[in-house]
Structure 1
Amino acid sequence: MYLSHLSLSNFRNYEQLTLSLSPGLFIYYGENAQGKTNLLEAVGMLATVNSFHASSDREVVNWHAPDHIARLEGTVKRREDDVHVEIALFDPTPPAIPTNGTTPAPTMELPASTQRKRLKINSIPRRTIDVIGQMKVVLFAPLDLHLVDGSPEERRRFLDRALCQIQPRYCQAIVKYRKIVTQRSALLKRIRENLEDPRMLDFLDEQMTQLASQIIYERQHMIEIINQQVDPLQTAISGGREHLRVIYRPSFKVDAAWNILEAQEQYQQQLRDSRKKEIHQGVCLLGPHRDDLEFVVNGINVLTYGSRGQQRTAALSTKLAELNYMRLSTGDEPVLLLDDVFSELDHWRREYLLQQVMQHEQVLLTTTDLDSFPREILQKAYISRIEHGAVQQEQPTP
């Protein structure tokens, strides 16, 4: 699988951009704030419909877009067919832009009811769930190097981003689950204030645990496969000194012997047992939204006792294992996006990552300079400079 064509219109600082791509390594270099991350963000959105960089869709719309719309198009070459994905993003409340340094230019606000996002596959309107996973990507950004020592939310995002691309039903479940958690938290607060009957929780608990059992099952299965991949990677990067195991830590008590229905019943009982505490605090204390991962190297939790180098090696190994997991699960090679991670790695880890990168079908990589790349890598890569939202391809390194 690879992206063969990319077209952007008023996306971030790209007023207009058209790229033709092929299998291989593409290196985009330039100073900071020129559009390198924006380019990978666009490719990621074609796969997941959401930005890994923005908190809301409106942020990606160029301030100067005359119609307040950003457009993305991509053609993906897959084993079985080609697919063309189109995304239009609307900003209904664009900011006022100064024209002379003092007076904002007038802007046209769109109605609040205006559809924010329109999606098409092969020119046919589609839902978000239909578009996610048409192209599969694995993103590796500096934040991912903090997968081990970052927040539990980042580790849950790592699970969800991969699973949503390969399991549409998982994506539907996680969206529904989050809505129920929001509703349930609001209800817990109202019960605490004696505004609702606690028995109102029974219906939401049933819905919540039905979805939770599905989400937990898929996460467990993913980590099982990840663990088949991650230890050889950790061993190779560490020169044979370290062995890594990733442990899934659900907030519910889980037993591998339970089937999905038994698990749901057990989770409901655990919610009943914690009901008084949840009402007192006004929040949902159990469920996949509170799950976490633990990284164990040579039997030791590296979050608590590991060195910074061990933590980064574990993060690197886990991201590479994610790539293998997605390939094994779908039969397709995901597009690998590397957003300026080489500057964050030491020489040995950088060399190892480069060796792994060269084995994948298509890699889009950004960096501030080319000095840290071996000549033999540069000779095999397609190199382009990005400056002020313009991409200029350069001649191959002799």
Structure 2
Amino acid sequence: MRLDRITIVKFRNIAQASIEFSPQLTLLVGDNGQGKTNTLEAVHVLLTGTSFRSSKDQELIMSACGKSPQTSPEGSNWGVDIMSLDGVVHQDPDRILTLHHRMQLNPLRKKHEGPVLPVVVFSPDDVQLSKGSPQGRRRFLDWLIAPIDSRYLRLFRQYHRALVQRNKALKDPRMTSTVTSFNPLLAQSGSYLWNRRLQILRDIIPVAQKIFADLTGLRLGIQLAPGGTHNAMTDPGNYEEMLRIHQKNDQQRGMTLIGPHRDDLILTIDGFPAIDYASQGQHRAIALSLKLASFEILEQETGMTPMVLLDDVLSELDPIKRSRLLKFIALSRPQTVITDTEARNYENLEPVIYHVDQGILRQQEIR
């Protein structure tokens, strides 16, 4: 897979930009806070339909309130507060994909055209994979499965819509009789989510463990802790029965206490919980191991080489981990975009360089 170009309009602080990517390495250079990470995020949204930084869609749009409405290129009435991303991807030599992503404010509307394509992101915030909240670890699993399984993404959305409605009914005594009506939908979609999460973990765990051992000489443990139960219910019938049994407790708490929306990944180093005992360097090693392993899994499952986005991570890594990451890029040869504060060569790859200043991107020659 190769991203040829992207056109960005009103994405965060980027009013308008067009980027032609190198098939190997593109470097985004500039001071902090100028829009380098925003550019990486725009690429991620174009390829996957989602941000790797925020779950709030409205944060992505550069607002232009107070101006008159305008018509979108597709002919529909979009307000002036519209963000658009357009790109061209070579999925293989014979197949070219055109991707579009549109979003507007007031009211919030979003439209994404194109498949979910494999992307691997490294950022300083990746340490939160092992030291942050369970939500971040669930998002890692969802992000990994979505490009492999389109049904997963559809049932993930179905599950959360049913969950919101069931929780609403649990809180309102007048809706008590409707609570069970949401159980079949939750059971059908939730059991599938649990099945796929267990399957992807069986694939990724041995790969991540080997990488972690190479980096640290230590043993990494990874295990899914199913939300609110000892065993993930991978059969819809058993899942629905479990919801029925626990309904009284759910009503007392006003929420659905069991399901994949409460899953967590338990990460250990030589048997000790990483969240409690890991050093900052070990947290980074866990994140690097999981991301490198996910690259291998995505490449195997999709038949495409994932694009790699490196957001200011090389300065955060110690020499051993930095060397491992650069060696991986040099050997695997993925199309890579790196943000940095200065222009330089990485592994003699002769990057295409864009200077980023206050949301304006200009291509420049390396000196």
What's the TM-score, normalizing by structure 2? Answer: 0.88
Alignment partners' CA distance in 2, 1:244 and 1:362: 29
- 1:381 and 2:348 are equivalent in the alignment: no
Pair 1:166-2:139 in alignment: no
Instruction: Write out per-residue CA displacement over residues 212-233 of structure 1, whole angstroms, 9 at most, x where no aligned residue.
Output: 1100000011111101311221
Q: Is the 8 A contact 2:25 2:349 kept in 1?
A: no
Q: Find the aligned partners of 2:333 and 2:157 in 1 and give their Cα distance.
A: 31
**Equivalents in 2 of 1:181, 1:174: separation in Å?**
10
After the TM superposition, which residues 193-272 of structure 1 pair with which residues of structure 2 at under 5 Å, given as runs?
195-197=174-176, 199-238=177-216, 241-251=217-227, 252-254=229-231, 260=234, 263-272=235-244
Task: Answer yes or no: is the 8 Å Cα contact 2:101–2:111 preserved in 1.
Answer: yes
Whole-angstrom CA distance in 1 between matches of 2:282 and 2:346: 28
Contact 1:47 1:165 in 2 (8 A): no
How many angstroms does 1:73 deviate by?
0.7
Of 75, 86, 91, the match for 2:100: 86
User: How far apart in 2 are the matches of 1:58 and 1:305?
Assistant: 37
User: Is 1:304 matched up with 2:281?
Assistant: no
Q: CA deviation at 1:361?
A: 1.9
Contact 1:28–1:36 under 8 Å retained in 2: yes
Letter in 2 for 1:206: P
Matches of 2:340 and 2:186, distance apart in 1: 43
Tell me, yes or no, if structure 1 residue 77 matches structure 2 residue 90. Answer: yes
Partner secondary structure for residue 132 of structure 2: coil
- The equivalent of 1:48 in structure 2 is 48
**What code does the residue aligned with 1:292 have?**
D
Tell me the SS of whatever aligns to 2:258. coil
TM-score between the two structures when normalised by the length of structure 1? 0.82
Cα distance in 1 for partners of 2:349, 2:292 equals: 24
**Separation in 2, partners of 1:148, 1:119:** 31
Distance in 2 (alpha carbons) for counterparts of 1:249 and 1:281 = 21
- RMSD across aligned C-alpha pairs, in angstroms? 2.2
Alignment of 1:180 onto 2:193: no
Higher Rg:
1
Give the alignment of 1:147-158 within 5 angstroms. 147-158=129-140
Distance in 2 (alpha carbons) for counterparts of 1:286 and 1:180 = 14
Q: How far does the alpha carbon of each residue in 1:257-315 deviate from its partner, in whole angstroms, 9 at most, with x for none?
A: x8x5xx22222232233222211111111000000101122233222333332222111
Identity of aligned residues (%): 31
Shift of 1:391: 2.1
What one-letter code is carried by the residue in structure 2 that aligns with 1:69?
I
Q: Aligned pair in 2 of structure 1 residues 156, 225: CA closer, same or farther (>3 Å)?
A: same
**In structure 2, C-alpha distance between the alignment counterparts of 1:163 and 1:331, rounded to whole Å:** 14
Paired residue for 1:25? Answer: 25
Range 76-85 or range 346-355, more displaced: 346-355
Aligned match of 1:190 in 160, 164, 172? 172
Q: Runs of 5+ in structure 1 lacking a partner?
A: 93-111, 121-130
Q: In structure 1, how many angstroms separate the alpha carbons of the residues matched to 2:59 and 2:265?
A: 31
**Cα distance change, pair 315–376 in 1 and its aligned pair in 2 (3 A):** closer
The one-letter code matched in structure 2 to 1:63 is S
Structure 1 residue 209, shift from structure 2 partner: 1.2
Taking the TM superposition and a 5 Å limit, the aligned residue runs for 1:263-302 are 263-302=235-274
* Matching residue of 2:365: 395
Which residue matches 1:139?
A: 121
Whole-angstrom distance in 1 between the partners of 2:281 and 2:112: 42
Aligned amino acid, residue 96 of structure 2: D
* 1:159–1:19 Cα change, 3 Å: same
The answer to whether the Cα contact below 8 Å between 1:132 and 1:164 also exists between their aligned partners in 2 is no
Shift of 1:55: 4.2
Count of matched residue pairs: 351
Counterpart residue identity of residue 45, structure 1: V
The one-letter amino acid of 1:143's match is: D
Does residue 334 of structure 2 align to residue 361 of structure 1?
yes
Displacement of 1:35:
0.8
Shift of 1:170: 0.3
Q: How many angstroms apart in 1 are the aligned matches of 2:346 and 2:179?
A: 62
| Residue 320 (structure 1) shift | 1.0
Q: Distance in 2 between matches of 1:15 and 1:174?
A: 33
How far off is 1:378 after superposition?
5.6
